[in-house]
Structure 1
């Protein structure tokens, strides 16, 4: 059996558990392509999986890594839309921290000539997650107010640009030193969550109207103020619970009175058909804009994959502005 180099961990735990070792090289199914991976994006899901808190979906590779870019080196018997040597990027259910990875042919996207492998690898998870939340779930409309928490994160920077293209009025939360990138991308109101009450600023900014949409990764600690910040018929899209899953001192009648929609969503556990349709929609919405530079991936730092421990620690410490990417070699 042919092997390849991958990033492994033998026991769940801290970043120091990660190391480069050997693993079986994946085989392509009929509708899959084998990609020689040039770069892989980091995500909080990788950290949670490393810690034993987020197992991969059934049938997915146990190797970390949900987004890749690289060159096609092999294709399945039913793949006709791609050729050996094509440069592609895309979202996968696992297996990205490796020299080779498989991806369904309809999940792969062509890398625009204007993008590097590292830039391409920083796009799939962030932009698909943001696009799903804003366009598919929240159905954000022009001139609506949207509050994006963690605005300087990978998903946050993608969400700002998608909301901007839809003509929304954008409010973000982030630490003060990260405000500059959010403003550059299109955010109009910048809130320092460490020193300011986002609820107070939202209500002041909107003349007590509230926001139409909130994209949240924080969960428990923000839930009450999120509900208070939403206007009637508002939509809260919950994508993570970084502060925990429990909300206290909350009056559920506000949901009823305001006719609110509260939607929780993860992308990794969605069906392949769902992810293919989402990828197709994102391509139609954003790929030309990405190629022209109107929409851009925001990269915080690129690490050689031998420095994966340092890369994981940077994300865990919330130091990154935009995406952290591993260069695979």
Structure 2
């Protein structure tokens, strides 16, 4: 049996602020509750909510670890008394409630999935936050069907790439916005039609490309500045799914008439506050519907750069620059 140390390395936030506030520290190793597994972390994904938490704008829900990190991959080294379906030695990737930026993390077993066959720790660590989020929002709430059309904003983000890949895998036609010629070219390699949001009006492009019909679903993380055009870009009975508000959540002087005349649905969700049962249901759906596609090589996460754990500040700076395409990962075991 693996010896579990009393203390572990983790990334501490000295005070709310910039990336420079991240530093390597030591803290007590968590102990798993009855429904949890303890994972020796090998890699952890970096996500936008981590940036917000570092700034003090996204506090963890009650009872969650105060340590940053919403996804991690590694080996189970201990199991709570009520855990079934997993055992010590299993290699898993987990949607964490917090705590991923550390040598060990305790996670409800329902929020874990095995590494897809052929994946390493870095690839496995890229999966939970994006795949849980896209499945819950694009397919559960957005009800995107194989014959429908989708517009994804932020097409080269981890979420954007995942949404494009999963939608294309089921046969949906996809449009995606990106902010440079390089990023648009990458979007095209994924099988989506790219729209450069810096030089083009995405609503006008959608209207022209669909002969004014519009798309069936818009997956948006930008927020207020895009709302009016998102509604314009939707077809009758279309669905606007909001997963973040990177440029604000308050819309001024919005005309809601299109919602009525086109019978639109505006919806959205957050992942972190959901119950373990909710997250477990998403995990089961992913294992049934998406894991076989990953193992068959139909698509895979795109890794932009890997940083050692003690360079978490550099990882955050890169994410905030928006210069990356794909996922940023921390190598915790290295």
Map of 2:64 onto structure 1: 60
Which secondary structure state, in structure 1, belongs to the residue aligned with residue 279 of structure 2?
Answer: helix
Label 1:283 to 1:181 Cα distance change in 2 as closer, same or farther (>3 A): farther
Deviation at 1:210, TM superposition (A): 0.8
Map of 2:175 onto structure 1: 171
Question: Per-residue displacement from partner, 1:204-262 (whole Å, max 9, x unpaired)?
Answer: 00000011100000001101100111111110000011111122332111211111100
Where does 1:238-257 land on structure 2 (aligned, <5 Å)? 238-257=242-261
Q: CA RMSD in A?
A: 1.2
Deviation at 1:300, TM superposition (A): 0.9
Deviation at 1:293, TM superposition (A): 1.4
Map of 1:34 onto structure 2: 38
The answer to whether the Cα contact below 8 Å between 2:34 and 2:81 also exists between their aligned partners in 1 is yes
Corresponding residue to 1:126 among 126, 130, 134:
130
Map of 2:197 onto structure 1: 193
Deviation at 1:180, TM superposition (A): 2.9
**2-structure distance, mates of 1:103, 1:179:** 37
**2-structure distance, mates of 1:130, 1:80:** 26
Which secondary structure state, in structure 2, belongs to the residue aligned with residue 202 of structure 1?
Answer: helix
**2-structure distance, mates of 1:79, 1:227:** 45
**1-structure distance, mates of 2:294, 2:187:** 17
1:328 aligns with 2:304: no
Where does 1:110-259 land on structure 2 (aligned, <5 Å)? 110-175=114-179, 176-187=181-192, 189-259=193-263
Question: Per-residue displacement from partner, 1:133-158 (whole Å, max 9, x unpaired)?
Answer: 11100101122111000011001000
1:82 aligns with 2:93: no
Corresponding residue to 1:313 among 312, 317, 332:
317
Normalised by the size of structure 1, how large is the TM-score?
0.97
The answer to whether the Cα contact below 8 Å between 2:228 and 2:254 also exists between their aligned partners in 1 is yes
1:295 aligns with 2:295: no
Provide structure 1 residue ranges, at least 5 long, that are not aligned to the other structure.
none
The answer to whether the Cα contact below 8 Å between 1:140 and 1:166 also exists between their aligned partners in 2 is no
The answer to whether the Cα contact below 8 Å between 1:146 and 1:212 also exists between their aligned partners in 2 is yes
Deviation at 1:79, TM superposition (A): 2.3
The answer to whether the Cα contact below 8 Å between 2:69 and 2:98 also exists between their aligned partners in 1 is yes
Which secondary structure state, in structure 1, belongs to the residue aligned with residue 99 of structure 2?
Answer: coil
**1-structure distance, mates of 2:146, 2:87:** 40
**2-structure distance, mates of 1:85, 1:156:** 33
The answer to whether the Cα contact below 8 Å between 1:72 and 1:87 also exists between their aligned partners in 2 is yes
Q: Which moved more, 1:71-80 or 1:153-162?
A: 71-80
The answer to whether the Cα contact below 8 Å between 2:110 and 2:279 also exists between their aligned partners in 1 is no
Which secondary structure state, in structure 2, belongs to the residue aligned with residue 36 of structure 1?
Answer: strand
Map of 2:274 onto structure 1: 270
